[in-house]
Amino acid sequence: MKMKKSEVKPFKEALLLLRARLRGDVHTLANAALSSSTVNVSAVPSHIADLGSDTFELDNTLQLITNEGETLEQIEGALERIESGDYGICVECSGKIPKMRLQVIPYTPYCVKCAAQIQEEER
Ligand SMILES: [Zn+2]
C-alpha cells in the first residue's frame, strides 16, 4: 500500500529540513524560520507541528546521527522514493514501514525488522 501524497508531504518537508541542517544550509533554515511567522506561506513548520512534538523531534533525530554523510545519502534516497511513490515501503522486503517509525527516522529505507537484521549483519 503506497502512501497518499498528502500523507507523504510532511515527511518530505521534514526530510528537506533535515538535509538543510546536515548540510549547514543556513539560508534554507532561515527561510523556514521566517515562514513560521508569516501566515500565507505553505508553512513547513505547521505541518511538522501537526505530527506531534512527542513523536517527531528533529533534534532527537539528529542525535541519532552518527555518520552524517551516510545519513545525507539516506535522505536523498528517501526523497527519490517520495518522487517515485515508493516512500514508506521497505526497500528490503517491500513491507510497509510504520508511520511511527518514519516520524522518528523519516529517511529510513527499512522496516523495523529489516533494520534490525541489517544491524545484526554489520556487527
Ligand atoms: Zn523490511
In the reported structure, the alpha carbon of residue 103 is separated from the centroid of ligand 1 by a whole-number distance in angstroms of 17
In the reported structure, the alpha carbon of residue 96 is separated from the centroid of ligand 1 by a whole-number distance in angstroms of 7
In the reported structure, the alpha carbon of residue 45 is separated from the centroid of ligand 1 by a whole-number distance in angstroms of 30
pLDDT, tens only, 66-122: 567 788 999 999 999 999 999 999 999 999 999 999 999 999 999 999 999 988 987
Give the chain's mean pLDDT. Answer: 79
Q: Residues near 50 by Cβ (< 8 Å), separated by ≥ 6?
A: 10
Q: Which residues keep their CB under 5 angstroms from ion ligand 1?
A: 90, 92-93, 95, 111, 114
More confident residue, 111 or 40: 111
In the reported structure, the alpha carbon of residue 51 is separated from the centroid of ligand 1 by a whole-number distance in angstroms of 23
Q: H-type helices in 56-111, by residue range?
A: 58-64, 68-84, 99-104
In the reported structure, the alpha carbon of residue 111 is separated from the centroid of ligand 1 by a whole-number distance in angstroms of 4
pLDDT at 67: 67
Q: What is the CATH number of the domain that holds 102?
A: 1.20.120.910
**Domain span at 55:** 5-122
In the reported structure, the alpha carbon of residue 91 is separated from the centroid of ligand 1 by a whole-number distance in angstroms of 7
What does the block give as the cell for 43? Answer: 508553512
pLDDT at 2: 80
Integer angstrom CA distances of residue 9 from 32, 43, 46, 80: 15, 11, 12, 13
Number of domains present in the structure of the chain: 1
Closest CA to 61 of 2, 19, 123, 117: 19
pLDDT at 23: 85
